[in-house]
Amino acid sequence: MVFFIITLIKIAIIAFVLLTVLAYLQWVERKVIAHVQVRMGPSRVGPHGLLQPLADVIKLITKEGVMPPHVNSFFYLLAPFLAVFMALISISVIPFGTQLTVGPYTTWMQLTDLNVGILFILAVSSMGVYGIALAGWSSNNKYALLGGLRSSAQMISYELPMSLAIASPLLIAGSLSLREIVNSQAGYNLGFIPKWLVFAGPFPQIFSFIIFMIAAFAETNRIPFDLPEAENELVAGFHVEYSSMTFASFFMAEYANMVTVCSIATLLFLGGWHPLWPVEYGSNFFAPLILFGAGAICIYHGLNPARPLDRYTLPVFGIVFFGLAGLMLFPPTVPILMPLFWFLAKCGFLLFVFVWIRATLPRFRYDQLMGFAWKGLFPAALLNLLVTGFLVALAS
Amino acid sequence: MPDALQVLNNGVPISWYLMLSAVLFALGVAGFLFRRNIITVFMCIELMLNAVNLSFVAFANMHKQVSGQIFVFFVMVVAAAEAAVGLAIILTVFKNRETLNIDEISTLKN
Amino acid sequence: MDYFFFLLFALIAVVSAVNVVVQRHPIASALSLIGVMGSIAVLYLALGAEFIAMAQIIVYAGAVMVLFIFVIMLLNAGAEERRGRSWTAQLLGAPVLVAFLGMICYFIQREFANAGFMKFGNFSGGSAQSVGLALFTDYLLPFEVTSVLILIAILGAIVLARKEMD
Amino acid sequence: MQNLWLIPALPFIGFLINGIFGRKLPKSMINLVAVLSVVLSFGWVVKVFMTAGDLAAMPVTEHYFTWIKSGEFQVGWDFTVDKLTMIMLFIVTGIGSLIHIYATGYMAHEEGYYRFFAYLNLFMFFMLDLVLAANYLILFVGWEGVGLCSYLLIGFYFVKKSATTAGNKAFIVNRIGDFGFSLAMFLIVVNFGTLSFSQVFSAAPGKPTETLTAIALLLLVGACGKSAQIPLYVWLPDAMEGPTPVSALIHAATMVTAGVYMCARSAVIFTHAPAAMETVAIIGLATAVFAATIGLAQNDIKKVFAYSTVSQLGYMFLGVGVGAFSAGIWHLMTHAFFKALLFLGAGSVIHACHGEQDMRHMGGLKKYAPWTCLTLACASLAISGFPFTSGYFSKDAILSAAYGHAPWMYWVGVITAGMTAFYVWRAFWMTFWGDYKGHGHPHESPPSMLAPLIVLAVLSLVGGFAFNVPHILEGMFPIAEGAENMMLTYISVVFGLAGIALSYYMYVVNKELPEQIASSLGGLYKLVYNKYFVDEIYDATVVNPMITGSRTVLWHGMDQGVIDGIVNGVGTESKAIGGVLKLLQSGNIRSYATWVVIGSVALLLVMGVVEGVGR
pLDDT tens string D341-379 = 999 888 888 888 877 888 888 878 888 888 888 888 899
Is B41 at the interface with chain D, CB within 8 A?
A: yes
Nearest-neighbour CA in chain D from B2: distance (Å):
33
Confidence bin at D615 (pLDDT 50/70/90): very low
pLDDT of residue A183: 84
Task: Looking at the structure, tell me whether residues A170 and A242 fall in a common domain.
Answer: yes
Query: Does D120 have pLDDT greater than 80?
Result: yes
Nearest-neighbour CA in chain C from B107: distance (Å):
16
Is B11 at the interface with chain C, CB within 8 A?
A: yes
Task: Looking at the structure, tell me whether residues C67 and C116 fall in a common domain.
Answer: yes
* Contact between residue D130 and residue D145 where contact means Cβ atoms under 8 Å apart: yes
Pairs of CB atoms within 8 A across C/D: 34
Task: Looking at the structure, tell me whether residues C156 and C115 fall in a common domain.
Answer: no
pLDDT of residue B1: 47
Shortest CB distance from B61 goes to which of C47, C70, C86?
Answer: C47
Q: How confident is the model over A76-83, as a mean pLDDT?
A: 86
pLDDT of residue B6: 67
Q: Which residues of chain A make contact with C73, given a CB cutoff of 8 A? A: 133, 136-137, 145, 148-149
Q: How far apart are CA C101 and CA A12, in angstroms?
A: 46
Q: What is the dihedral of CA A243, A244, A245, A249, to 10 degrees?
A: 50
Task: Looking at the structure, tell me whether residues A264 and A236 fall in a common domain.
Answer: yes
Task: Looking at the structure, tell me whether residues C58 and C111 fall in a common domain.
Answer: yes
- DSSP for A240-275 reads TT--HHHHHHHHHHHHHHHHHHHHHHHHHHS-TT--
* Contact between residue B50 and residue C61 where contact means Cβ atoms under 8 Å apart: no
Is A132 at the interface with chain C, CB within 8 A?
A: no
Q: How confident is the model over D169-191, as a mean pLDDT?
A: 90
ipTM of the shown complex = 0.67
Give the residue from C104, C13, D612, C15 showing the smallest Cα distance to B19: C104
pLDDT digits (tens, 9 = 90+) for D224-254: 988 888 888 888 888 888 888 888 888 888 8
Number of H helices, E strands in chain B: 4, 1
Q: How far apart are CA C125 and CA B61, in angstroms?
A: 8
Domain that holds residue A2: 1-62
Q: Do D587 and B107 touch (CB under 8 A)?
A: yes
Q: Which residues of chain C make contact with A114, given a CB cutoff of 8 A? A: 50
Query: Does A59 have pLDDT greater than 80?
Result: yes
Cα separation values, D387 from D61, D84, D417, D464, D465, Å: 39, 26, 13, 10, 11
Query: What amino acid occupies position A236?
Result: A
Q: Which residues of chain C make contact with B100, given a CB cutoff of 8 A? A: 75, 77
Q: What is the CA radius of gyration of chain D?
A: 29
Pick from D601, D604, D606, D607 the residue to mutate for testing the C interface (most C CBs within 10 Å). D601
Q: How confident is the model over A154-175, as a mean pLDDT?
A: 86
In CATH terms, B2-97 corresponds, of 3.30.420.40, 3.40.50.720, 3.60.15.10, 1.10.287.3510, to 1.10.287.3510
Task: Looking at the structure, tell me whether residues A109 and A202 fall in a common domain.
Answer: yes
Task: Looking at the structure, tell me whether residues A28 and A139 fall in a common domain.
Answer: no
* Contact between residue C51 and residue C126 where contact means Cβ atoms under 8 Å apart: yes
Q: What is the dihedral of CA D46, D47, D50, D51, to 10 degrees?
A: -150
Number of H helices, E strands in chain A: 14, 4
Is D594 at the interface with chain B, CB within 8 A?
A: yes
Residue of chain A nearest C25, judged by CA positions: A72
This prediction's pTM:
0.59
Query: Does D127 have pLDDT greater than 90?
Result: yes
Q: Which residues of chain A make contact with C63, given a CB cutoff of 8 A? A: 126, 156
Q: Do C96 and D591 touch (CB under 8 A)?
A: no
Task: Looking at the structure, tell me whether residues C42 and C118 fall in a common domain.
Answer: yes
Confidence bin at B34 (pLDDT 50/70/90): confident
Q: Do D590 and B32 touch (CB under 8 A)?
A: yes
Subunits next to A (3 or more Cβ pairs <8 Å) are: C
Task: Looking at the structure, tell me whether residues C90 and C47 fall in a common domain.
Answer: yes
Q: How far apart are CA A61 and CA A83, in angstroms?
A: 18
Shortest CB distance from B26 goes to which of C29, C101, C130?
Answer: C101
Q: Is the peptide bond before D231 cis (omega within 30 degrees of 0)?
A: yes
Task: Looking at the structure, tell me whether residues C146 and C160 fall in a common domain.
Answer: yes
* Contact between residue B88 and residue C160 where contact means Cβ atoms under 8 Å apart: yes
Nearest-neighbour CA in chain C from A330: distance (Å):
42
For residue A184, what is the DSSP state? T
Q: Which residues of chain B make contact with D601, given a CB cutoff of 8 A? A: none
D470 vs B39, residue with greater confidence = B39
Task: Looking at the structure, tell me whether residues C117 and C153 fall in a common domain.
Answer: no
Residue of chain B nearest C13, judged by CA positions: B24
Confidence bin at D106 (pLDDT 50/70/90): confident
Domain spans of chain B, in order of start: 2-97
Give the residue from D215, D206, D256 showing the smallest Cα distance to D235: D256
Query: Does D542 have pLDDT greater than 80?
Result: no
Q: Which residues of chain D make contact with C104, given a CB cutoff of 8 A? A: 604
For residue C89, what is the DSSP state? I
With 0-12 / 13-18 / 19 or more C-beta atoms within 10 angstroms meaning exposed / middle / buried, residue A237 is: buried
Confidence bin at C84 (pLDDT 50/70/90): low
Give the residue from D177, D199, D337, D340 showing the smallest Cα distance to D263: D177
- DSSP for A83-120 reads HHHHHHHGGGG---SSEEEETTEEEESSS---TTHHHH
pLDDT digits (tens, 9 = 90+) for D299-340: 888 888 899 999 999 989 998 888 888 888 889 999 999 999
Nearest-neighbour CA in chain C from D70: distance (Å):
20
| Partner residues linked to B13 by β-bridges | C117
Q: Which residues of chain C make contact with D598, given a CB cutoff of 8 A? A: 92, 96
Query: Does D394 have pLDDT greater than 80?
Result: yes
Chains C and D touch (3+ CB pairs under 8 A): yes
Query: Does D70 have pLDDT greater than 80?
Result: no
Q: Do C97 and D598 touch (CB under 8 A)?
A: no
Q: How far apart are CA C67 and CA A152, in angstroms?
A: 10
Q: Do C123 and B73 touch (CB under 8 A)?
A: no
Q: How far apart are CA A328 and CA C9, in angstroms?
A: 46
Query: What amino acid occupies position C140?
Result: L
Q: How confident is the model over A355-362, as a mean pLDDT?
A: 87
Give the residue from D162, D223, D212 showing the smallest Cα distance to D188: D212
Task: Looking at the structure, tell me whether residues A56 and A73 fall in a common domain.
Answer: no
Task: Looking at the structure, tell me whether residues C145 and C163 fall in a common domain.
Answer: yes
Give the residue from D498, D297, D290 showing the smallest Cα distance to D385: D498
pLDDT digits (tens, 9 = 90+) for A44-55: 877 778 888 888
Q: Do D605 and C107 touch (CB under 8 A)?
A: no
Query: Does residue A341 form part of some domain?
Result: yes
Q: How confident is the model over D570-587, as a mean pLDDT?
A: 79
Shortest CB distance from A152 goes to which of C25, C57, C70?
Answer: C70
Q: How many CB atoms lie within 10 A of CB A289?
A: 12
Question: What's the domain count of chain C?
Answer: 2
Shortest CB distance from B33 goes to which of D586, D587, D590?
Answer: D590
Q: How confident is the model over A343-347, as a mean pLDDT?
A: 89
For CA atoms B91, B95, B101, B106, the dihedral sign is negative
* Contact between residue B12 and residue C112 where contact means Cβ atoms under 8 Å apart: no
Q: How far apart are CA D286 and CA D288, in angstroms?
A: 5
pLDDT digits (tens, 9 = 90+) for D203-229: 888 888 888 999 999 999 999 988 888
Task: Looking at the structure, tell me whether residues C41 and C97 fall in a common domain.
Answer: yes
Residue of chain B nearest D592, judged by CA positions: B33
Is C107 at the interface with chain A, CB within 8 A?
A: no
Q: Do D593 and B33 touch (CB under 8 A)?
A: yes
Question: What CATH code is carried by the domain that includes residue C46?
Answer: 1.20.120.1200
Q: Do A116 and C66 touch (CB under 8 A)?
A: no
pLDDT digits (tens, 9 = 90+) for D471-497: 788 777 766 555 567 788 888 888 888
Q: Do C86 and D590 touch (CB under 8 A)?
A: yes
Percent of chain D with pLDDT over 90: 15
Query: Does residue A255 form part of some domain?
Result: yes
Q: Share the mean pLDDT of chain A.
A: 83
Q: How many CB atoms lie within 10 A of CB A288?
A: 22
Q: Which residues of chain C make contact with A136, given a CB cutoff of 8 A? A: 73
Shortest CB distance from B106 goes to which of D586, D593, D597?
Answer: D586
Q: Which residues of chain C make contact with A123, given a CB cutoff of 8 A? A: 54, 57-58, 61-62
* Contact between residue D386 and residue D496 where contact means Cβ atoms under 8 Å apart: yes
Nearest-neighbour CA in chain C from A174: distance (Å):
9
CA C99 to chain CA centroid, Å, is 23
Q: How far apart are CA C42 and CA C1, in angstroms?
A: 14
- At residue D503, what are phi and psi to the nearest 5 degrees? -60, -40
| Partner residues linked to D532 by β-bridges | none
pLDDT of residue D75: 87
B residues 37-96 lying closer than 8 A (beta carbon) to C: 37, 39-40, 42-44, 46-47, 50, 53-54, 57-58, 60-62, 64-67, 69-70, 72-74, 76-85, 87-92, 94
Query: Does D448 have pLDDT greater than 50?
Result: yes
Query: What amino acid occupies position D161?
Result: K
Helix (H) or strand (E) holding D74: strand D73-81
Beta strand C117-118 pairing with B12-13: antiparallel
> b or e along D269-279 (b: 16 or more beta carbons within 10 Å of the residue's beta carbon)?
bbbbbeebbeb
Task: Looking at the structure, tell me whether residues A54 and A172 fall in a common domain.
Answer: no
Q: How far apart are CA D281 and CA A308, in angstroms?
A: 125
Domain that holds residue C121: 2-78+85-126
Number of H helices, E strands in chain C: 8, 1
Residue of chain D nearest B31, judged by CA positions: D590
* Contact between residue D365 and residue D436 where contact means Cβ atoms under 8 Å apart: yes
C102 vs D154, residue with greater confidence = D154
Query: Does A247 have pLDDT greater than 60?
Result: yes
Confidence bin at D610 (pLDDT 50/70/90): confident
Give the residue from B65, A120, B18 showing the smallest Cα distance to C6: B18
Q: How far apart are CA D501 and CA D510, in angstroms?
A: 12
Task: Looking at the structure, tell me whether residues A48 and A145 fall in a common domain.
Answer: no
Task: Decide which of A14, A33, A62 is a domain's last residue.
Answer: A62
Pick from B6, B7, B9, B20 the residue to mutate for testing the C interface (most C CBs within 10 Å). B20
Give the residue from D428, D442, D429 showing the smallest Cα distance to D367: D442
Task: Looking at the structure, tell me whether residues C112 and C60 fall in a common domain.
Answer: yes
Pick from A70, A127, A178 the residue to mutate for testing the C interface (most C CBs within 10 Å). A127
Query: Does B90 have pLDDT greater than 80?
Result: yes
Task: Looking at the structure, tell me whether residues A30 and A120 fall in a common domain.
Answer: no
Q: Do C103 and D597 touch (CB under 8 A)?
A: no
Q: Which residues of chain C make contact with B37, given a CB cutoff of 8 A? A: 26, 77, 80
Q: Share the mean pLDDT of chain D.
A: 85
Is C20 at the interface with chain B, CB within 8 A?
A: yes
Task: Looking at the structure, tell me whether residues C102 and C156 fall in a common domain.
Answer: no
Nearest-neighbour CA in chain B from D587: distance (Å):
4
pLDDT of residue C131: 87
Percent of chain A with pLDDT over 70: 98
Is C54 at the interface with chain A, CB within 8 A?
A: yes
Task: Looking at the structure, tell me whether residues A18 and A119 fall in a common domain.
Answer: no
Q: What is the CA radius of gyration of chain C?
A: 20
Question: What's the domain count of chain A?
Answer: 2
Query: Does B7 have pLDDT greater than 70?
Result: no
Q: Do B33 and D597 touch (CB under 8 A)?
A: yes
Nearest-neighbour CA in chain C from A248: distance (Å):
23
